[in-house]
Structure 1
């Protein structure tokens, strides 16, 4: 685990909660909306929002969801509502919305491309739903992405789970999120569960999709930051460095601001 010696979990917890409170006050909003997936990132994010004392709405948005993900999410929400009076929850079953959407657009013979596109569509339907609840409640959509996902390998859907108002844990590595989860008493079932985006309607994990574990990718992200490259390593480590570099390069379009075509002044 990275930084476990210097990682001051209690102070970091306080820092994030204060940051959330300050931002909400400046934005003149009442509270937060968080999509709950049954994963560790959304569990930690919703707990941090709950600690602000501001109304925090946990939203479950199943789309043909695996029962295990749903039950983990519900276990977390039940526990959070017992601990914090300002937490409420709602379930929006988006399965019929997703099925209707599919009927209104053409399909494709390329199954791999179709499945990936539909996975991203699920994430975007969820983003739309979160903003609906945020609008009704004068709230902000709190993002659940961690540092590896958001700034390392770009493992999220642009304008899906990437479409948020603020990102409380995006400067924390996955191992740091785990430490924070333990400190916050997130249910053990969530802490030990294999990370998954739950977007494909099967049990594939993030690791299956990425080709490397979060701990491996964390190592690669820190190594590249120090100026090391694939050539500095052999075997599996070299392979992981390559996986990280490839994903980081391919997903720059998610991490960089949207390019604007600037028109020369003399043409206007």
Structure 2
């Protein structure tokens, strides 16, 4: 992978898109994870206005410390970068109390609240993005956005642009190394940060990112039955997740009405 060429290309793409959109720059939600760190570092390199927004919601302490370390580092090196922390915990707590239901009656409650965290952050990003004329910049990678759908519809999937969505997680890590992202972020176990207890991405999906990247590379030309052992298991996981995520990436269905009925 020609990392410097990729970095230069994405940086130029971001700058050109913002200029054509008559935007002043970019707003990025910083979580303390590798994807948001890389995206914010790329945005900073454009020289345009960049607002880094940390939005903790009952967040784990290590996630908060990594996010703030990264924000301070970028602000120190790039005069075009500004940082803001909005503690959304009280807002989320109020929402969760107002919509509270018995989990025995509604088994999907925990997942719905996890997704609500992501959607609350999206709302906050668009608020600060609009008042500052900044583009909400997505942090999803290729595996998450187009492979297994590991994102929240109208949450972290609600963005204006997606600069790293054509890169696998492994490739994002290679960019992180080239961009000299903090070691603490590069070594952190990937997690979506949407739960009160730590749940890694691998635990939630049932496979690691390298395994899912392999499955994505053979999906469509091979079936799970073509393999055995762990490979078969991983391809079965990928196939299930990929099929389940189609509603997230396909256009919203529109019910068409026969024209003669509307005359």
TM-score by length of 2: 0.97
> 2:90 matched to which residue of 1?
96
Structure 1 gap segments, 5+ residues each: 1-6
Which of residues 46, 53, 57 in structure 2 aligns to 1:59?
Answer: 53
- The residue that corresponds to 1:142 in the other structure is 137
Structure 1 range deviating more: 199-208 or 111-120: 111-120
| Counterpart in the other structure of 1:127 | 122
Instruction: Note the C-alpha offset of 1:82.
Output: 1.2
Q: Distance in 1 between matches of 2:107 and 2:38?
A: 32
Distance 2:2 2:107 in 1: 43
Shift in Å at residue 259 of structure 1?
Answer: 1.1
Shift of 1:109: 2.3
**1:206 equivalent in structure 2:** 201
Q: Any residues of structure 2 matched to 1:246-261 within 5 Å, and which? A: 246-261=240-255
Q: What SS class does the counterpart of residue 69 from structure 2 fall into?
A: helix
Match of 1:154 among 137, 146, 149: 149
Q: Structure 1: which 4+ aligned runs deviate by more than 3 Å?
A: none
Deviation at 1:103, TM superposition (A): 2.2
Unaligned runs of 5+ in 2: none
Structure 1 length as normaliser, TM-score?
0.95
Q: Distance in 2 between matches of 1:112 and 1:41?
A: 31
Structure-2 separation of matches of 1:34 and 1:179: 20
Which residue of 39, 42, 46 maps to 1:48? 42
Q: How many residues align?
A: 261
Moved more, 72-81 or 255-264: 255-264
CA distance in 1, matches of 2:112, 2:258: 36
SS in 1 for 2:253: coil
* Residue aligned with 2:83, SS: strand
| Equivalence map 1:1-268=2 (5 Å) | 7-110=1-104, 112-225=107-220, 227-268=221-262
* Structure 1 residues 214-245: Cα deviation after superposition (integer angstroms, max 9, x where no partner): 000000000115x1121221100100000000
Structure 2 Cα separation of the partners of residues 19 and 147 of structure 1: 17
CA distance in 2, matches of 1:112, 1:56: 40
Q: Which residue of 2 aligns with 1:3?
A: none
RMSD: 1.0
Larger deviation, residues 108-117 vs 210-219: 108-117
State the Cα deviation string for residues 73-93 of structure 1 (Å, max 9, x = none).
111111111111101100000
CA distance in 2 between counterparts of 1:144 and 1:54 reads 18
